[in-house]
């Protein structure tokens, strides 16, 4: 059983609001990732981190930002939400080159 958590699971918010999606893992993994996925579509890597104070942008350009101050915590922030940000956001972690563990996801709807 993977110990990776995301909150909230569902979020409906108005345009222009600042939001932070939380992701935490208790496995001590150095690598953490954020993916964005629309229904029935492929996953897009938007951010990743190889450890504390390390963050990189993924292959899909995103207006979100991330931080990695603690190993177990990798929050994603949108300063000003827009309807185009409506999607599912999946957080994952891994140890070295081994399997990734995914959280349950946050389904974001921006009105």
Whether the CA torsion 62, 91, 99, 49 is positive or negative: it is positive
Give the number of other Cβ atoms within 10 Å of residue 73's Cβ.
Answer: 14
Interacting span for other proteins (CB under 8 A) from 15-23, 32-40, 67-75, 76-84: 32-40
- Does 48 engage in binding with other proteins (CB under 8 A)? yes
- Does 88 engage in binding with other proteins (CB under 8 A)? yes
- Does 76 engage in binding with other proteins (CB under 8 A)? no
CA distances from 22 to 5, 10, 77, 96 (A): 8, 12, 9, 22
Contact residues for other proteins, defined by CB under 8 A: 33, 35, 39, 42-43, 45, 48, 56, 58-59, 88, 90, 92, 94, 97-105, 107
């Amino acid at each position: 059983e993977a110990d990776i958590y995301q909150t909230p699971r569902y979020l409906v918010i108005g345009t222009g609001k600042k939001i932070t999606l939380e992701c935490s893992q208790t496995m001590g993994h150095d690598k953490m990732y954020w993916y964005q996925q629309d229904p029935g579509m492929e996953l897009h890597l938007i951010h990743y981190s190889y450890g504390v104070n390390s963050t990189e942008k993924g292959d899909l350009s995103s207006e979100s930002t991330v931080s990695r101050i603690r190993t177990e915590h990798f929050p994603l922030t949108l300063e000003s939400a827009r309807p185009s940000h409506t999607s599912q956001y999946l957080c994952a972690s891994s140890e070295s080159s081994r399997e990734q563990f995914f959280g349950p996801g946050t389904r974001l709807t921006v009105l």
